[in-house]
């Protein structure tokens, strides 16, 4: 009996060891990737034209989807909050709840996840296909640093555009929240905004908006990393796109937990 248990434990150890080693290997490769990316990003010359193209790709092309998601979030918040507050006669607090909820948490996290789904998959698939078709090798052979031209520009675009997209999501959410509330209790937009922003302070608005720059760093970094390490032809490209979305979304959720705690500590 003891020998059978010993064999089973050894098999489990053999089964878990490759997974543990591959996990540590992944983090090691990510650390090396970050070091090469940082060196490429700060050293001249800079790829300004490619950065502008990526800003358009990440920002303006993601704007309709982000605006739609923000608007839907505002509608849901208005409907759910009104149904709850009407039971206690607290409808006057509805504008403040909608504005604070969107600005402080709903807008940033929804924007981050939407961009992770659209941009993360796109970057992972694009760089993955370039890797398996040896286009990145050709770029290196042309004396062009792929980390500067392909990776740094995409990561920088994600960092710069996420806060701006968050503002768009917040604005659409507040506008649709007001419109939904007006269908039940007619209120002018000016009165709705005054009631909603009366208690909104600098600490309530700026830190949650700027934390999305960290979300952009996570999306760009993981998507580029997964794309650059793609192997296995077209099947590998599909795995790179899928893993980019999954890991980016997971990273955003975990980072949001830490950032919310830090914001509460430094901006009480």
Q: For residue range 72-99, what is the model confidence (pLDDT) as tens digits? A: 999 998 888 887 777 777 777 788 888 9
Q: What's the rounded Cα separation, in Å, for the pair 52 and 74?
A: 31
Residues 108-134: tens digit of each pLDDT: 999 999 999 999 999 999 888 888 888
- In the chain, where the domains are located: 34-39+46-266
Half-sphere exposure of 257 (CA within 13 A, CB side): 5
Confidence of residue 233 (pLDDT cuts 50, 70, 90): confident
Across the chain, mean pLDDT equals: 84
**Contact indicator for 58, 161 with CB cutoff of 8 Å:** yes
Confidence of residue 255 (pLDDT cuts 50, 70, 90): very high
The CA distances from residue 114 to 75, 119, 166, 245, in Å, are 17, 8, 11, 10
Q: What's the rounded Cα separation, in Å, for the pair 218 and 256?
A: 11
This prediction has a pTM of 0.86
**Contact indicator for 212, 112 with CB cutoff of 8 Å:** yes
Confidence of residue 182 (pLDDT cuts 50, 70, 90): confident
With pLDDT > 70 as the criterion, what percentage of the chain qualifies?
Answer: 92
Closest to 215 in 3D by CA, of 131, 159, 133:
159
Q: What is the pLDDT of residue 63?
A: 92
Helices (H), the chain: 2-42, 48-55, 63-85, 94-101, 107-115, 121-132, 135-141, 146, 153-184, 189-197, 202-210, 212-228, 233-266
Q: Does position 220 have pLDDT exceeding 80, yes or no?
A: yes
> Which H or E run includes 33?
helix 2-42
Residues 193-203: tens digit of each pLDDT: 888 888 888 88
Q: Does position 170 have pLDDT exceeding 80, yes or no?
A: yes
Confidence of residue 45 (pLDDT cuts 50, 70, 90): confident
Q: What's the rounded Cα separation, in Å, for the pair 171 and 66?
A: 11
Q: Does position 248 have pLDDT exceeding 70, yes or no?
A: yes
Mean pLDDT of 163-190: 89
Mean pLDDT of 205-227: 92
Per the document, the length of the chain is 268
- Burial tier of 217 (Cβ tally within 10 Å: 0-12, 13-18, 19+): middle
**Contact indicator for 37, 155 with CB cutoff of 8 Å:** yes
């Amino acid at each position: 009996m003891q020998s059978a248990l010993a064999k089973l434990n050894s098999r489990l150890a053999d089964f878990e060891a490759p997974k543990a080693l591959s996990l540590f290997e992944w983090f090691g490769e990510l650390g090396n990737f970050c070091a090469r990316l940082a060196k490429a990003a700060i050293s001249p010359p800079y790829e300004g034209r490619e950065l502008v193209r990526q800003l358009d790709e990440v920002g303006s092309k993601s704007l309709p989807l982000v605006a739609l998601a923000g608007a839907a979030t505002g509608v849901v918040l208005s409907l759910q909050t009104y149904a709850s507050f009407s039971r206690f006669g607290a409808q006057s607090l509805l504008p403040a709840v909608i504005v604070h909820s969107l600005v402080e948490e709903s807008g940033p996290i929804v924007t981050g996840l939407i961009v992770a789904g659209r941009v993360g998959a796109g970057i992972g698939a694009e760089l993955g296909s370039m890797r398996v078709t040896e286009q990145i090798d050709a770029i290196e052979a042309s004396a062009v640093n792929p980390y500067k031209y392909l990776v740094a520009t995409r990561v920088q675009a994600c960092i710069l555009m996420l806060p701006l997209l968050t503002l768009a999501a917040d604005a659409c959410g507040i506008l649709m929240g007001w419109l939904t509330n007006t269908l039940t209790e007619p209120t002018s937009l000016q009165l709705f905004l005054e009631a909603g922003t009366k208690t909104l302070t600098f600490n309530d608005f700026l830190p949650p908006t700027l934390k999305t720059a960290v979300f952009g760093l996570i999306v760009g970094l993981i998507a580029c990393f997964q794309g650059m390490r793609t192997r296995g032809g077209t099947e590998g490209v599909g795995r790179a796109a899928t893993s980019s979305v999954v890991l980016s979304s997971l990273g955003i959720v975990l980072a949001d937990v830490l950032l919310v705690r830090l914001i509460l500590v430094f901006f009480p």
